[in-house]
Structure 1
């Protein structure tokens, strides 16, 4: 019985140790997003993409980071990547109206552009 108790105690200790790392990861992701916004405002879209890709790597549940990434991809003409990033953002935050509006505008513009190219 002592071994089982030791295993449980070790498991709890591991969870307690992982919690700050998870918090640090989310904090680091937020810092990456903020830095990405800063450089995007200066027209440095490739750097912004790098930062936002890093943010979603650090926190794969960060819907706003996927939205920002989608906008940057769209700006750089990487439309397939933009669509996937918007879809991921909506999957993570389905009731986020600004993300939905961004995606709807993206689809409206790109569907119109695509239709024109087919003819």
Structure 2
């Protein structure tokens, strides 16, 4: 899968920015660092940060969306699918989550049928 869309799929920090202490502050700080890592293409670091945010807010749909995007970027498609589904089950469905899941579901249906992403598809010829 091509990651030229960059961090368009990574959700902005959102409502967690309102609090200055407690779990919301942890979520905000970890999401901010995760987004920075993702913008640089450091998806493993981004996932680490998003998982820290998830530990503080395990059912927050924006946090779960970020986790799913990072998993997707790392090629962990089954884990990404499960995380997207958990985010969608939370009730709240931010626009970015719906958009990311729709894009991923389209890709995943082809992937599940055996159309694996080509290695080096981003390489210049």
TM-score w.r.t. the length of structure 2 is 0.69
Match of 1:38 in 2: 36
Report the Cα distance in structure 2 between the residues aligned to 1:27 and 1:40, rounded to whole angstroms.
20
SS at match of 2:59: coil
Tell me by how many angstroms 1:96 deviates.
2.1
The within-5 A match list for 1:3-18 is: none
The structure whose residues are more often helix, as a share, is: 1
SS at match of 1:61: coil
Report the Cα distance in structure 1 between the residues aligned to 2:78 and 2:111, rounded to whole angstroms.
14
Match of 1:91 in 2: 89
Deviations along 1:73-103, whole A, 9 cap, x unmatched? 0010001110111112112244323211211
CA contact (8 A) 1:90 1:96 kept: no
- Rg larger in 1 or in 2? 1
Gaps of 5+ in 1: 1-22
Deviations along 1:46-73, whole A, 9 cap, x unmatched? 0100000110101113211110110110
Pick the aligned partner of 2:64 from 35, 47, 66: 66
TM-score w.r.t. the length of structure 1 is 0.73
Match of 1:13 in 2: none
SS at match of 1:50: helix
Pick the aligned partner of 1:103 from 90, 101, 104: 101
Tell me by how many angstroms 1:38 deviates.
0.5
CA contact (8 A) 1:36 1:51 kept: yes
Gaps of 5+ in 2: 1-20, 116-125
Report the Cα distance in structure 1 between the residues aligned to 2:61 and 2:22, rounded to whole angstroms.
18
